[in-house]
Structure 1
């Protein structure tokens, strides 16, 4: 892979609406992640995780969301990939779901650049 490729990850903390967790999981696994990978240049994979019961600290330190998705990014222009994803979330490029809680616990999205090869 050429040296001018920027490697990064996007961490998305997300939460389903109450009583819609099964619908949320189907949408996220079967629709959302495949669309993000297929439709956003630079996003090469996505993997979901659920908050584990086993922790080093007590549950009072639990994050506000139960679900985390890690997207791997390989791009020549991270700013462009960030902009494309931001637009896709609102312009109809990605099919969104009513099962995603965007009011009580809106998604928290953070990009991290690689510090090692």
Structure 2
């Protein structure tokens, strides 16, 4: 399993201390680790090929999402169906949102790409790749919550 939460000992002074025989308090290590982590979201807008909708949904729900969450350590992944289009011209009726935190988001994405290219991820040809849109975002501050 690839671990997006793994810290590089050189980047975390508490890990470095522990490797020299010192013991860091868990709360200090967790605080230091959190400072290095970047909150990420990947979205995928998708459409199944005509006549292959059930195959597409079965693959996405029972194979694709579990593979990504279990092999790469996403904190969660979920799928959504379009209810109302408010603006824009995208035609994809389905949305997947993947959430994770990583010290180096681009290295994490590179590991996913390598796994896909090497056949370690199950692919499906039931998806219309001509309409698919996938993008990665990083957090711009903390979520706004009700006051």
Q: Shorter-normalised TM-score: what interval?
A: 0.7 to 0.9
Deviations 1:35-85 (A, max 9, x none): 0111124x2211101111x3445xxx4422111100001111101111122
Q: 1:68 and 1:89 mapped to 2: Cα distance?
A: 20
- Specify which structure has the bigger relative contact order, considering alpha-carbon pairs within 8 angstroms and separated by 6 or more residues: 1
Q: Which runs of 5+ in 1 are unaligned?
A: none
Higher-helix-fraction structure? 2
C-alpha contact 1:31 1:95 (8 A) present in aligned 2: yes
For residues 56-95 of structure 1, the aligned pairs below 5 Å read 56-57=86-87, 61-95=88-122
In structure 2, runs of 5+ residues without a counterpart are: 1-29, 143-147
**TM-score normalised by L of structure 2:** 0.68
Q: Normalized against structure 1, the TM-score is what?
A: 0.83
Tell me which structure has the larger Cα radius of gyration.
2
Structure 1 residues 64, 87: CA separation in 2 closer, same or farther (over 3 Å shift)?
farther
Counterparts of residues 99-114 of structure 1 (less than 5 Å): 99-102=126-129, 104-105=130-131, 107-114=132-139
Higher strand share: 1
